[in-house]
Amino acid sequence: MSKSRIRYLANNDTSREGVSRYRKPDMAPEMRKSSSAIYYVTLGLGQFSDINNPYQNIYLLFDTGSDLTWTQCEGCRNCFYQNSPYFPRTRSQTYQPYSCGQCPGGQCYQDHCTVTNSYVDGTTMNGILATETFTFSSPFLFDDIIHDLIFVCTIETSNFHAANVYDNPITGVLGMGKGDFSLISQLGRYGEYRFSYCLQDSNDHVGAYSQMMLSFGTEIGKTSIMSVTQILTNPKKPIFYYVDLIDISVHKRRLNIPHQYFTIQGDINNSGGTIFDSGSAISYLVSNAFDIFKTAIERYVGTHNTYLRRITNPNDYGFEACWEPIFDSATVTFPTITFHFGNDANMVVQPNQVISSIPTPGVPNPGLYCLFLSRSTNDVNVIGAFQQVNQRVITDVQTMQLSFAAEDCSQSTW
């Protein structure tokens, strides 16, 4: 079933009218980090008769680049490994699948409406369109219980790369895009159409308790001074948070990359543009822009590091630019980069979020240093999670503004 048909269901689902009638929210579910720059949110799903376990925790990849929320459910076949049980939909008292009669696309599974979706990274999922009760828990706040939120109870998945880690906790995806079907859109006035997050460094608290929160409405953790840029609309791709990327600096030196490399094109597909996407582990630049950027990075590293040697085959490690120390205790110096957005909004990315060490088998730590930005394989630029680390980011869907400010996210409580 196409996303347009899903939005038809979302817009015509009268059972969701109660979502926006409640008091102001105090919702701030916990976020954690799986590995590298893969972040996930803990939510409660369903309602069960067991008083000690009234809902089941699910762990969803935090993805501002999609509008579907889904988790693997009982009966899932050809599905990725997760270290918690599949969601037991038949035991939940509030699980309500859409019937075939409610399904405009006509796709059905055991008399239920089904949804199929594919992602640009090759992930595919197929599941049952349903409504369910979600519980938003925080160590600092009372539980917030929201009924009749639409999600997909997944029964088949493939190529879900975020789960390719040992002891994988992630069970699905939390769609936080701009589409009508996303969580922020479904929450509506109850979530005040805005959300905030602050991603910790990839070396902080991996798999353990963290202070990261995904906060909504009044609990957005706004700092006093923030840069603000406009969220742009691409009618052909309405779910994405497009921004006006003007240029990039390497160590405060503007590269003067032609603006046209970053903008939405006027072709039939409205291709190009630049999106903020927490579901992408790293950032990507289209080839013409990436070539200019990579040259500037290589020039800086070569000029400022006597004891680093360029790797001639970085693609063997999955990167386009890597360096190795000539001896173990070599001191390294890497640049900051700055993304320059419209409205004079500048986001400075610290050196360890530009070039980072990676472990290499048989090589003493730090092994290699690699550039954690890459060449886009399609026509869009992406500001990914690794370059958003230690930034307070606020996304306001109603005012169509994206705000950010540097912050030590390991010390943040919101």
> 243 and 167 in one domain?
no
> 196 and 59 in one domain?
yes
Residue 43 and residue 57 in contact, taking contact as beta carbons nearer than 8 Å: yes
In a domain, 281, yes or no: yes
| Domain CATH number, residue 161 | 2.40.70.10
Tokens of 182: 């996303």
> 274 and 175 in one domain?
no
Nearest CA among 35, 333, 53, 370 for reference residue 202? 35
pLDDT digits (tens, 9 = 90+) for 333-391: 999 999 999 999 999 999 999 999 887 666 666 678 999 999 998 899 999 999 999 99
> 123 and 51 in one domain?
yes
**Pairing outcome for strands 308-310 and 401-406:** unpaired
Q: How many domains does the chain have?
A: 2
Task: For tokens 């349903």, name the residue.
Answer: 130
> 173 and 55 in one domain?
yes
**Model-level pTM?**
0.89
What secondary structure, in 3-state letters, does the chain show?
CCHHHHHHHHHCCHHHHHHHHCCCCCCCCEEEEEECCEEEEEEEECCCCCCCCCCEEEEEEEECCCCCCEEEEEEEECCCCCCCCCECHHHCCCCEECEHHHCCCCCEECCEEEEEEECCCCCEEEEEEEEEEEEEEECCEEEEEEEEEEEEEEEEEECCHHHCCCCCCCCEEEECCCCCCCHHHHHHHHHCCEEEEECCCCCCCCCCCCCCECEECCCCCCCCCCEEEEEECCCCCCCCEEECEEEEEECCEECCCCHHHCCECCCCCCCECEEECCCCCCEEECHHHHHHHHHHHHHHHHHHCCCEEECCCHHHHCCCCEEEECCCCCCCCCCCEEEEEHHHEEEEECHHHCEEEECCCCCCCCCEEEECEEECCCCCEEECHHHHCCEEEEEECCCCEEEEEECCCCCCCC
Give the chain's length: 414
Pairwise CA distance, residues 359 & 391, whole Å: 26
What is the pLDDT tens value at each position of the chain, 414 positions in all? 434 334 433 444 433 343 433 334 467 888 888 766 789 999 999 999 998 899 999 999 999 999 999 999 999 988 999 999 999 999 999 999 999 888 867 688 888 899 998 888 889 999 999 999 999 987 666 788 999 999 999 999 999 988 777 789 999 999 999 988 899 999 998 889 999 999 998 655 444 445 688 998 866 766 668 999 999 999 999 999 999 999 999 999 999 999 999 999 988 888 999 999 999 999 999 999 999 999 999 999 999 999 999 999 888 888 999 999 988 777 899 999 999 999 999 999 999 999 998 876 666 666 789 999 999 988 999 999 999 999 999 999 999 999 999 999 887 655
Query: Bridge-partner residues for 124, per DSSP?
Result: 118, 158
> 303 and 277 in one domain?
yes
Pairwise CA distance, residues 256 & 295, whole Å: 13
Nearest CA among 122, 59, 49, 118 for reference residue 85? 59
In a domain, 412, yes or no: no
In a domain, 372, yes or no: yes
- Burial of 339 (C-beta count, 10 Å sphere; 0-12/13-18/19+): buried
Query: Bridge-partner residues for 263, per DSSP?
Result: none
Query: Bridge-partner residues for 228, per DSSP?
Result: 403
| Residue 363 structural domain | 227-406
Pairwise CA distance, residues 192 & 19, whole Å: 11
**Pairing outcome for strands 274-276 and 381-383:** parallel
Pairwise CA distance, residues 88 & 411, whole Å: 36
- Report the pLDDT value the prediction gives residue 17, as an integer from 0 to 100: 40
> 244 and 208 in one domain?
no
Average pLDDT, the chain: 87
Residue where a domain terminates, one of 216, 244, 279: 216
Which residues lie below 8 Å from residue 239, measured CB to CB, with a gap of 6+? 3, 65, 66, 67, 177, 178, 179, 182
Nearest CA among 121, 120, 103 for reference residue 112? 103
> 399 and 300 in one domain?
yes
> 384 and 277 in one domain?
yes
To the nearest 10°, the Cα dihedral for 231, 236, 237, 239?
70
> 187 and 58 in one domain?
yes
Residue where a domain terminates, one of 188, 216, 244: 216
> 298 and 165 in one domain?
no
pLDDT digits (tens, 9 = 90+) for 17-65: 434 333 344 678 888 887 667 899 999 999 999 988 999 999 999 999 9
∠20-413-53 over CA atoms, to 5°? 60
In a domain, 364, yes or no: yes
322-325: strand order across its sheet: 308-310, 322-325, 368-371, 355-358
Task: For tokens 């925790």, name the residue.
Answer: 57
